[in-house]
Amino acid sequence: MSKGILFNIQKFSIHDGPGIRTTLFLKGCPLRCQWCANPESQLAKIQIIYHKEDCLHCLHCIQLCPTHALTHQDQCIHVDFNKCIGCLECVKNCPGHALSNEGEYKSVEEVVAICLQDLPFYEESGGGITISGGEGMSQPDFLRELLPALKKHNLHLAIETTGYVPEDLFHELAPMFDLLLFDIKHADS
């Protein structure tokens, strides 16, 4: 089973399609819009966030990092996102809680279980599930497994997309949704 990287699961959404919905925010977007409402969504990987005011400067995180992605310079921890694999060992073991993460891996089963918790609200309001992001189609392998798993429960599926994906991928994924919410960014570069 595939896993996706999500940075938020927002329950009781009322602005992301009809009725009461659960909006699944996926990480990853090929665009870098200056007005992006979710800049934390742009990288398609888990990001480590450093909170300087909480750091004990014990350097335990640096010792734990299996890829040597963390360094200590100028009284700050620096993360090399090219080396970081998102294992979260540094976050889990930071005694001062100076490290946190943006995004986490979730399996299809985990996401479906979370979505089914609110099934009565979807049924009563005509709601369902909305895929958002980042770019909603940024994780096609995950969507290919997630969408049929949600459809088994007769859930209404919507996606917020820029359409900025390969044309063949768009034509494959778009019919899997009941509603496309198309986000037109700008008509003039």
Q: Is the pLDDT of residue 189 over 70?
A: no
E strand segments, the chain? 3-13, 21-26, 47-50, 70-73, 76-79, 99-102, 104-107, 128-132, 156-161, 179-182
Read off the amino acid at residue 144.
R
Residue 40 sits at φ, ψ, to 5 deg, of -70, -10
Query: pLDDT by residue (tens digit) across 21-77?
Result: 999 999 999 888 888 888 888 888 888 999 999 999 999 999 999 999 999 999 999
Q: Would 22 be classed as within a structural domain?
A: yes
**Residues 72 and 59 sit within 8 Å (Cβ to Cβ):** yes
71-85 CB burial, b ≥16 within 10 A, e <16? eeeeeebebeeeebe
pLDDT above 70 coverage of the chain, percent: 97
Query: What pLDDT does 137 receive?
Result: 95
| Residue 35 CB partners (closer than 8 Å, separation 6+) | none
Q: Would 67 be classed as within a structural domain?
A: yes
Residues 96 and 112 in one domain: no
Query: What pLDDT does 185 receive?
Result: 67
DSSP 141: H
pTM of the model: 0.85
Q: Would 187 be classed as within a structural domain?
A: no
- Check which CATH number belongs to the domain holding 68 and give it: 3.30.70.20
Radius of gyration of the chain (CA): 19
Q: Please, what is the average pLDDT of the chain?
A: 93
Q: Would 173 be classed as within a structural domain?
A: yes
Residues 112 and 34 in one domain: yes
Question: Beta partners for 181?
Answer: 160
CA-CA-CA-CA torsion for 79, 34, 111, 17, nearest 10 degrees? 170
pLDDT mean over 97-106: 93
Instruction: Give the residue numbers spanning the domain of 130.
Output: 3-42+105-182
Cα–Cα distance measured from residue 96 to residue 52, given in angstroms and rounded to the nearest whole number: 10
Confidence of residue 186 (pLDDT cuts 50, 70, 90): low
